[in-house]
């Protein structure tokens, strides 16, 4: 199996495909309550059929270049979370990124590292100009990720999202390609590239189908 190293701890970013549905569902079950506090991923994957349908939908997005989904795996190969491009419009040069993580993997910076790889790919490989991050105002860890990635808060969509019967404010954060490239160049110049010095992808492009 191929993947992109996320650091020196053996964690990797790897594709998630429909044949991973059973493993994906088991991962969701381990963190269902935690994951479902702010995002609909847990509700969308209730059984094997829905999990397979969810991953199949993203396989179709990959095939049509309108989205991507990738899993975060430990050194032992355990699926503990993931990142995605929920939407992607190459013609417009825009995308919306997202993430999730099960409780056992929290506090290790995995999401920040994984999203950094995702944005690198979106900007440098697909030529996107803007990557957006939409997050409920109560989801402080996700907002912290946006800050660590150097995103700019653009505003709040008041009571925009109806989730589990309650109206939720959604914050909109984003980063533009010139901003991203400048920040990454500064990181590399300072020797702080979070993907690990000298670490290269095991495979040329794990984002492809």
Contact indicator for 169, 135 with CB cutoff of 8 Å: no
Contact indicator for 51, 20 with CB cutoff of 8 Å: no
* Mean pLDDT computed over every residue of the chain: 91
The C-alpha atoms of residue 20 and residue 9 are separated, in whole angstroms, by: 23
Q: How confident is the model at residue 191 (pLDDT cuts 50, 70, 90)?
A: confident
pLDDT tops 60 at residue 90? yes
DSSP class per residue in 66-100:
S-EEEEEE-TT--EEEEEEEEEEETTTTEEEEEEE
pLDDT tops 60 at residue 91? yes
Question: Which percentage of the chain shows pLDDT scores above 70?
Answer: 91
23 φ/ψ angles, rounded to the nearest 5 degrees: -65, -40
What pLDDT, on the 0 to 100 scale, is given for residue 199?
Answer: 39
pLDDT tops 70 at residue 193? no
pLDDT tops 80 at residue 207? no
Per-residue pLDDT, averaged over 117-137, amounts to: 97
The C-alpha atoms of residue 45 and residue 23 are separated, in whole angstroms, by: 12
């Amino acid at each position: 199996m191929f993947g992109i190293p996320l650091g020196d701890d053996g964690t990797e970013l790897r594709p998630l495909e429909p044949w991973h549905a059973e493993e994906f569902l088991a991962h969701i079950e381990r963190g269902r309550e935690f994951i479902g506090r702010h995002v609909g991923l847990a509700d969308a994957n209730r059984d094997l059929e829905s999990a397979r349908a969810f991953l199949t939908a993203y396989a179709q997005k990959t095939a049509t270049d309108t989205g991507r989904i990738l899993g975060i795996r430990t050194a032992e190969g355990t699926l503990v979370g993931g990142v995605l491009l929920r939407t992607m419009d190459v013609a417009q040069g825009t995308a919306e990124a997202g993430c999730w993580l099960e409780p056992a993997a929290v506090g290790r910076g995995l999401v920040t590292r994984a999203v950094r790889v995702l944005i690198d790919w979106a900007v440098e490989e697909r030529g996107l100009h803007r990557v957006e991050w939409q997050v409920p105002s109560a989801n402080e860890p996700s907002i912290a990720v946006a800050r660590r990635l150097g995103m700019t808060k653009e505003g709040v969509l008041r009571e925009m999202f109806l989730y589990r019967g309650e109206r939720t404010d959604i914050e909109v954060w984003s980063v533009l390609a010139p901003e991203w490239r400048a920040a990454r160049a500064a990181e590399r110049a300072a020797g702080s590239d979070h993907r690990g010095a000298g670490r290269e992808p095991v495979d040329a492009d794990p984002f492809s189908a």
